[in-house]
Amino acid sequence: MNTKRITLAALTTAALALPSVTYSATFGDDFSTDTSADYVYTSTFGTDTATWDVSGGTLNLPKTGGVGQTANLFYDTATFAIGETVSVDISGPDDAYLTVSTTTFAPNVGANDGVRLNWESDGNFRARSYDDGSNTNTEFDSGFNVASGGSLTLYLTRETDNTFSAAYSAIGGAMIQLNTTGGTEKQIFTAGDTGNGDLFIGVETFGGGVRNFDNLAVVPEPASAALLLGLGGLALAFRRRR
């Protein structure tokens, strides 16, 4: 019995000592109620006047402005921390973004830092990382092409202060890592000086049509969360055997 107590203590210590992972800070908006007051709308370069809303169980964001404009919506509280994954379900035309930024504005102008993950109009993906508003493009392999006009989930994982990885899936399906090789490995890319504070999370549209966003969420990084759950399961097993 003493051995079991020691083992449980060791498991608890190991769980608490996991590095660079935040388990307590989670966020979710399934848009089942009108949460539009919690979002900040802007337009890159300030010329898009799209009318957007939260209704029918989704956030509905049209793009109506000129060439080169994006319509941006950011949640008004910074909730994306190191060791967490942000995701959103998208339906409607592609050319839609999942974005994280040091302010409630897309990081492609001004002095903002962050990452924009784009499901492009041709069905391919592009991650753009930004340092003081200037971007370095990371193109993903064309083998990841997803047909235009469908639906999917986009993911961004914050690996360290300013490094990230990206993935996508069918809605409700398993994550598929995005990389430049077409393989299954996780590709890490670097943004600007995002520091170690939380980042704002948002979505964007580019090109004509209305995009529907659902289940915007921030969770612990999946692999780390699974490890924590595994440790908890072992602890329960020991308790049952006592």
Does residue 13 lie within any of the structural domains?
Answer: no
Report the pLDDT value the prediction gives residue 153, as an integer from 0 to 100.
96
Find the domain containing 30 and state its range: 22-220
DSSP string, the chain: -HHHHHHHHHHHHHHHT-TT--SS--EEE--SS--GGGEEEEEGGG------EEETTEEEEE--S-TT--EEEEESS--B-TTEEEEEEEESSS-EEEEEESSSS-TTSTT--EEEEEE-TTS-EEEEEEETTEEEEEEPPGGG---TT-EEEEEEEE-SSSEEEEEEESTTS--EE--SSSSSSPPPEE-S--TTS-BEEEEEE-SSSEEEEEEEEEEE-HHHHHHHHHHHHHHHHHHHH-
The answer to whether residue 108 sits within a structural domain is yes
- Give the per-residue pLDDT at 47: 64
pLDDT at 187: 95
- CATH number for the domain spanning 49: value is 2.60.120.560
Closest by alpha carbon to 164, among 237, 207, 227, 101? 101
pLDDT digits (tens, 9 = 90+) for 26-64: 899 999 999 999 999 988 766 666 689 999 999 999 876
200 part of a folded domain: yes
Q: How far is CA 197 from CA 68, 128, 162, in A?
A: 30, 20, 10
Q: Encoding tokens for residue 147?
A: 């047909």
Q: Is residue 206 part of a domain?
A: yes
Q: Is the dihedral of CA 49, 36, 22, 156 positive or negative?
A: negative
pLDDT in tens, the chain (242 residues): 443 333 334 433 433 343 443 344 489 999 999 999 999 998 876 666 668 999 999 999 987 665 667 889 999 998 899 999 999 999 987 789 999 999 999 998 888 999 999 998 888 899 999 999 898 888 999 889 887 678 999 999 999 999 999 999 999 999 999 999 999 999 999 999 898 889 999 999 987 788 999 999 999 966 544 444 333 333 333 233 33
How many domains does the chain divide into?
A: 1
